[in-house]
Amino acid sequence: MQPDQKIVAVKFGESDKTYDYFSGGLDVAVGQRVMVPMRGREISVEVAEIKDHSEVAKVAIARRDVRTDEQRAEKHPNGAHVWAPDGTMLDEDGNMFTAFANQGEPA
């Protein structure tokens, strides 16, 4: 661990147990949501504590989860998320919403 590297303790869901991740150079605060890598994908978790040292941290957080609570809860009728963690709108298949993309300049 680098001496200036902060440790972020995160909580998964309603559990009281925390898991340590490196901050990855991101400036995060307690209560903020971040994305962490887990089993081949990324999961949104809540920052529970900021630490200076950890013996168990092995992986860094990926990025901030910029969605609001409302965006995080909003789903398409098929259950797919409407908003990606980076704030991009998604279609029902989980692809970036492109209804207004590539329409060019108005005449």
User: How does pLDDT run along the chain (107 residues), one tens digit per residue?
Assistant: 455 679 999 998 888 899 999 998 899 999 999 999 988 888 899 999 999 899 999 999 999 988 888 888 888 888 888 888 888 888 888 888 765 555 555 54
Which pTM was predicted? 0.72
d(CA 26, CA 89): 24
Rg (CA), the chain: 17
Q: DSSP class of residue 49?
A: E
